[in-house]
Amino acid sequence: MSTLLAPIGIFGGTFDPVHFGHLRLAQELLTELALKEVRFIPAGRPPHRAEPAVSSSQRLEMVQLAIEANSRFVLDEREVRKDGLCYTVDTLGELRHEMGPEQPLCLLMGADQFLGLPSWHNWQALFALAHVVVAHRPGFPQISWADNMPDALQKEVISRQRTEVNALYTLPSGHIYTQPITPLDISATSIRNSLQRGQSPRYLLPDAVLDYIQTNNLYM
Ligand SMILES: Nc1ncnc2c1ncn2[C@@H]1O[C@H](COP(=O)(O)OP(=O)(O)OP(=O)(O)O)[C@@H](O)[C@H]1O
Ligand SMILES: O=C(O)c1ccc[n+]([C@@H]2O[C@H](COP(=O)([O-])O)[C@@H](O)[C@H]2O)c1
């Protein structure tokens, strides 16, 4: 009898800057899904949004500071090291190649990202490479009752959604799973705006990240 492999969480983001909304999402999915690890992949030049406010190496350093105390959080620098736009389908293709066909991979994201999935490059190919795990996010509908979901996405949800966490262990990819998490109404945008107004975002992100922002005069 073969032993089931614990899934690996893949968590991409602009992280401009990383905050407790990201860290709680990663921690709660790590625990609830019993993931082997969560791999943080800061985006170099992310598609579908304006150029980030600070450089990719600075965003990478902030993620490093935020996760270094957690041995199950791993920093993956591959997208930051690439020139040009990075598409998630390409990153997942590389990870699948490195980890082999049996290893379950879970692409982690908030509900806001999930609702925009049909605008991603080659999005339907994502399901051949990984499961998609969606965490609730304040201000965005839960996918089970998202009336405004694009038709193509609703179709994927109907055929792929599973409510048993075991489904993420029995196949290496292809399911959609939703997880409620502690609702934290924190965004990188609101942190950048506070800093620009001269207000402190303390307690919305790790002190080490705030110290880094202040030492390097970022977002001012
Ligand atoms: N407070 C939060 N709760 C749940 N998910 C979140 C939260 N903040 C970010 N995420 C998720 O983390 C991932 C990376 O998000 P991102 O780096 O764009 O952060 P953000 O706060 O949404 O940034 P911005 O305000 O600049 O758009 C996305 O999948 C997003 O849905
Ligand atoms: O591959 C795509 O087309 C694509 C389009 C939009 C977003 N993404 C990825 O989704 C992750 C979160 O994006 P963001 O903009 O919320 O930081 C990040 O890893 C992006 O590279 C990927």
pLDDT one-digit tens code per residue, 131-149:
999 999 998 887 766 667 8
Angle at 104 between CA 62 and CA 106, to 5 degrees: 40
Q: Which residues pair with 132 in a beta bridge?
A: 107, 176
Of 88, 129, 134, the residue with max ligand 2 atoms within 8 A of its CB, to mutate for a pocket test, comes to 88
Q: Average pLDDT in the 20-42 region?
A: 98
Is ipTM strictly over 0.95?
A: yes
pLDDT score for 51: 84
Q: How far is the CA of 63 from the centre of ligand 2 (A)?
A: 16
Model pLDDT, residue 146: 61
- Find the residues whose C-beta lies inside 6 A of ligand 1: 13-16, 21-22, 25, 109-110, 112-113, 135, 137, 184, 186-189
SS (H, E, C) the chain: CCCCCCCEEEEEECCCCCCHHHHHHHHHHHHHCCCCEEEEEECCECCCCCCCCCCHHHHHHHHHHHHCCCCCEEECCCCCCCCCECCHHHHHHHHHHHHCCCCCEEEEEEHHHHHCHHHCCCHHHHHHCCEEEEECCCCCCCHHHCCCCCHHHHHHHHHHECCCCCHHHHCCCCCEEEECCCCCCCCHHHHHHHHHCCCCCCCCCCHHHHHHHHHCCCCC
pLDDT in tens, 77-121: 999 999 888 999 999 999 999 999 999 999 999 999 999 999 999
At the second CATH level, the architecture of 8-215 is: 3-Layer(aba) Sandwich (3.40)
Instruction: Tell me phi and psi for residue 136, to 5 degrees.
Output: -60, 150
Angle at 168 between CA 60 and CA 86, to 5 degrees: 30
Cα–Cα distance, 46 to 43 (Å, whole number): 5
Q: The pTM is what? A: 0.97
